[in-house]
Structure 1
Amino acid sequence: MDKSLENQLVNAAKTVEQQLDEQIVRLDNLDSDDLKALREQRLRELKDLNSKKQEWLKNGHGVYTELAGEKEFFEVSKNSSNFVCHFYRDSTVRCRIVDMHLKILAAKHVEAKFCKINAEKSSYLTQRLRIMVIPTIALVRDSKTKDYVVGFSDLGNCDDFSTEILEWRIARSGVIEYSGDLMQPPDVKRKPRSSQPQKTIRGGNGSDDDDIDLDD
């Protein structure tokens, strides 16, 4: 494992442990007898959740990584119930914007696996998933593609959208947990979108609303 990735995993694990410790401290400070049972139940839930988070981290969650190829895409979709995959192209500037946000979200949402894959080297996948716009983020749950974030049209049609609005958009598919209002996007400052056209992949048919089973 490369040093940078190892450091990211260590930092993600520390964040998870810190969050758990903070919640336990808050619960320990409840001194009402009436809340004793609730506190004990919540502590059990937190410990169970922490076990899940540690298992997710062992499975490579918590960091944003690049898939080596199409075979690995299917392996991840089987091993991780919640999977966020960015189809990118090196020559597309907006893909680097997506990379920046997904790296932040990967560390925050260890319940999902965040990856990217080179669309130009994944012709079978792009055709099977009907991906024609780059960047496109495929949102996979239980080995089924549930949704797609296509370009920036759902993110305010601007290049300077916030990480929060992408988080909200991904959460609407159910692949990450979200404490806010899924019916209302977070307020963000938006700048007019530049005139640069979205990149397309030859042979794509566009995305639709039907789930695509990756086990077929």
Structure 2
Amino acid sequence: MTANESVEIFSKVLQTTSIIEEQLDAELQKLDCMDEGELGLLKQRRLEALKKAQLQKQEWLSKGHGEYMEIPSERDFFQQVKESKNVVCHFYRDTTFRCLILDKHLATLAKKHIETKFIKLNAEKAPFLCERLRIKVIPTLALVKDGKTQDYVVGFTDLGNTDDFTTETLEWRLGCADIINYSGNLVDPPFQNQKKLGTSFTKLDKKTIRGKTYDSDSDED
């Protein structure tokens, strides 16, 4: 690293530190202007919010959120989507190796996004559901909100058209469907290589992304 580069980096660090200090000063000044009653009310609201969040978390965990699990039958699918507001269901087949790739990423996301239930169902044991949901490509993720299938992730097309997509890429795609609480930027997908992208998902408006529909009538396996 050259001397000029070191100076430039140091300058950027100082600039960032200055901005943070200004934000902290503004917050402290705001708190100084509050009387004891206002501070007490603020503290009470924060405690109530924390308590509510903790109760919600316990409810999710009691319903099986936080773990990626397999359900044995179509009947169980209807029960699962009835219990939880947001459900990601992986329709898989034992003979399709790409399902194993999805399993790895879904297991990670299930632990991170406990607001959503992550399940898997063997497509060969669910002929009625596959016909009803028009699932013809394996793997397919059915994204169910409030008991209704709102979106699909069909194969790996929306994930960069590669087997080497990252967990962050799948997380972004689920965020586009509003099936998880996604804190990243929906407009810029985190693909490792933008040239591999074989879909129209690059740099789209947020509303367009979430309103997109998918055709699963493909012969791809």
Q: TM-score, normalised by structure 2?
A: 0.70
Q: Which has the higher contact order (CA 8 A, sep 6+)?
A: 1
**In the comparison of the two structures, how many residue pairs are matched?**
167
Offset of residue 43 of structure 1: 3.0
Aligned to 1:152: 156
Matched, 1:207 2:207: no
> Which consecutive residues of structure 2, in runs of 5 or more, have no partner in the other structure?
1-27, 198-214
Offset of residue 179 of structure 1: 0.7
Q: Which structure has the bigger radius of gyration?
A: 2
Q: Report the structure, 1 or 2, having the larger helix content.
A: 2
> Match for 2:186 among 182, 189, 192?
182
Within 5 Å, which residues of 2 pair with 1:16-165?
32-33=31-32, 34=34, 36=39, 37-165=41-169
Q: TM-score, normalised by structure 1?
A: 0.72
Amino acid at match of 1:140: V
Q: Does the CA contact (< 8 Å) of 1:161 and 1:189 recur in 2? A: no
**Match of 1:159, SS?**
coil
Q: Distance in 1 between matches of 2:161 and 2:113?
A: 24
> Which consecutive residues of structure 1, in runs of 5 or more, have no partner in the other structure?
1-29, 194-205, 209-216
Q: Distance in 2 between matches of 1:65 and 1:150?
A: 20
Aligned to 1:199: none
Offset of residue 182 of structure 1: 1.7
Q: Distance in 2 between matches of 1:164 and 1:38?
A: 35
